[in-house]
Amino acid sequence: MTKLIVICGATATGKSGLALSLARKLGSVILSADSRQVYREFNIGTAKPTTAEQKLVSHYLIDICAPTDIMTVADYQEQAQALIASVDVTPLLLVGGTGLYIRSIVQGMKIPKVAPHKELRSQLESFGQMQLYTMLQQVDPVAAQKIHPNDPVRTLRALEVFYVTGRPISQHQGENPPNYPILQIGLNCDFHDLTQRIAKRTEQMIADGLVAEVEYLCHKYGADLSLLNTLGYQEIKQYLAGEISLDKALELTILHTRQFAKSQRTWFTAYPKIEWFDADNPNLLEQVWQRTQQFLTIN
């Protein structure tokens, strides 16, 4: 029977390193649950596993999409579920910090298969968030109760699904949990220590060539590419445009990453089935290994 071990948590908590060590001990493989690592050529700024790391353990759901394409949660779920069903290894490790990706698998979210419609989105965005939310309250009050009035991404998506399908997004949604055993492991640490981890990793990204990576991507795809407006890339893009210094770009990247990590922690701590471990514990691998063996024995 398929068994799944999830390793999740905020960015820079050491999920990839722990997963690599655990996968090697288990003779397992890693399924990435990172919404930017699915895109080819976005490597350093997404903290994508290196070529050497991918040789040590097989990684899936990395580099599966062109930067000019859009990988929806439904697309990810479909590919991840197909891999879980077909890869002849157990347990499998699902590793990452994209909460929706993980939730789509462990809870079996029913996701509307509606591709993004650029023209419709452009028309809707012209109204502004306040009016869009009012529209959502009218066409799908159930969804509106679950979406914050200041959340433009989910508001726009809910309206998009409604206008494409003629049905509220709330009628498309639901859950169909998988029937295989799942162990969910979360990594956490003191927020001050996490800030230091973020700063160290960001500095390493600069040393590893993040500026050159962003410059190459801007030249190849144009600075307006949506992925270049994401964490780390946007700040370096501002530096390359002469708007800020490299030191300022580094400072802003650390700040924005801290804010992102805080939102990730809020997301994951809302799910009681996640078992939390201290990322700074020197015996972390041993503790997780013992819990993993217990899980595999019981299941």
Beta bridge partners of residue 249, listed in sequence order: none
- Distance from C-alpha of 232 to C-alpha of 253, rounded to nearest angstrom: 5
Is 86 annotated to bind ligand? no
In one letter, which amino acid is 109? M
Distances (CA, A) of 170 to 114, 130, 191: 14, 20, 35
Is 16 annotated to bind ligand? yes
Is 13 annotated to bind ligand? yes
Which tokens in the block code for residue 90? 């157990």
- Buried residues in 239-254 as b, exposed as e (16+ CB within 10 A): bbeeebeeeebbebbb
Give the residue among 30, 37, 40 at the shortest CA–CA distance from 5.
Answer: 30
* Backbone angles phi and psi of 210, in degrees to 5: -60, -40
Q: Is 54 in contact with 242 (CB distance < 8 Å)?
A: no
Instruction: Find the helix or strand (DSSP H, E) in which 93 lies.
Output: strand 92-95
Is 12 annotated to bind ligand? yes
Which 8-state DSSP code applies to residue 222?
Answer: -
Radius of gyration for the alpha carbons in the chain, expressed in angstroms and rounded: 20
- Distance from C-alpha of 246 to C-alpha of 248, rounded to nearest angstrom: 5
Task: Please compute, for residue 177, the number of CA atoms within 13 A of its CA located in the half-sphere on the CB side.
Answer: 7
Is 292 annotated to bind ligand? no
Q: How many helices (H) and strands (E) does the chain have?
A: 14, 6
Is 14 annotated to bind ligand? yes
Going by the annotation, the residues of the binding site for ATP are 9-16
Bind-site residues for substrate:
11-16
Residue numbering of the annotated binding site: 9-16
